[in-house]
Amino acid sequence: MIKKMIRHGNSSALIIDKPIIELLNINNETLLEISTDGNNIIISPVHDIESINKLSKALEKINKKHQTTLRKLAE
């Protein structure tokens, strides 16, 4: 399926067709995680928000504790 982005205010939007929404068992209230592998946009439904929150807190703690080392590695 090939889709085209549409303008939505100052942003762009992508319309997801009903068959895909039904296949993924999502609705307008479902949280979606948007990520990329550098070449592709990956949109995934978030079904376990508690796990996502735990992961975010763990990453925040790691970043805080090792920020100097991570900055040096990024250079």
Residue 50: domain span: 6-74
Is residue 67 a part of any domain in this protein? yes
Is residue 61 a part of any domain in this protein? yes
Token output for 13: 């939007």
Is residue 49 a part of any domain in this protein? yes
- At 40, which CATH number? 2.10.260
| pTM exceeds 0.75 for this model | no
- pLDDT, tens digit, 9 for 90 and up, residues 1-38: 899 999 999 999 999 999 999 999 899 988 898 999 99
Domains of the chain: total = 1
Q: Residue 51: CB partners within 8 Å, gap ≥ 6?
A: none
Is residue 1 a part of any domain in this protein? no
Average confidence (pLDDT) over 49-75: 87
